[in-house]
């Protein structure tokens, strides 16, 4: 049996859970796909930060940082920030914080441009 790499495993698992949560919330709760996606993504992101913190304490296999960054980039930056604060996780590693700040900066610029172009008439 082929060994799956942590990046692939957590990436695929996150994609499946986000897709399942998005469609379940949209279908059963009758909310829009974007709202359901963001809710599912942020809930999953928060729990993955908690899971990774527990794994760090137990000194066991960790969630790769690239997966944490991709979850934040995909729209889970609010939950990522909350997970960092509540679990006191990834708050000391400067390189991680700089990349996370860059992701948030890009998202703020993107959101500002979206609002500007959707409201400029």
In 10 A of CB 38, how many CB atoms?
Answer: 19
Q: Is 36 exposed, middle or buried (0-12, 13-18, 19+ CB in 10 A)?
A: buried
* Residue 1 in this model has a pLDDT that exceeds 60: no
- Tokens 């008439």 map to which residue? 121
- Tokens 């604060």 map to which residue? 85
* Residue 121 in this model has a pLDDT that exceeds 70: no
* Residue 101 in this model has a pLDDT that exceeds 60: yes
43 is written with which tokens?
Answer: 């809930």
Q: What is the pLDDT of residues 7-32, one digit of tens each?
A: 788 888 888 888 888 888 888 888 89
- Tokens 């796909």 map to which residue? 33
pTM of the model: 0.85
Residue 15 to residue 37: CA distance in whole angstroms = 11
Alpha-carbon torsion, ordered 39, 44, 114, 32, to 10 deg: -30
Residue 14 to residue 27: CA distance in whole angstroms = 20
């Amino acid at each position: 049996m082929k060994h799956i790499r942590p990046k692939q495993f957590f990436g695929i698992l996150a994609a499946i859970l986000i897709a399942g949560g998005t469609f379940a919330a949209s279908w059963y709760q009758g909310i829009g796909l974007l709202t359901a996606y963001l809710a599912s993504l942020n809930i999953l992101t928060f729990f993955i930060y908690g899971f990774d913190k527990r794994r760090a304490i137990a000194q066991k296999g960790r969630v790769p940082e690239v997966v944490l960054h991709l979850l934040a980039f995909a729209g889970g930056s609010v939950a990522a920030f909350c997970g960092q604060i509540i679990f006191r996780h990834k708050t000391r590693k400067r390189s991680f914080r700089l990349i996370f700040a860059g992701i948030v900066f890009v998202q703020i610029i993107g959101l500002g441009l979206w609002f500007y172009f959707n409201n400029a008439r």
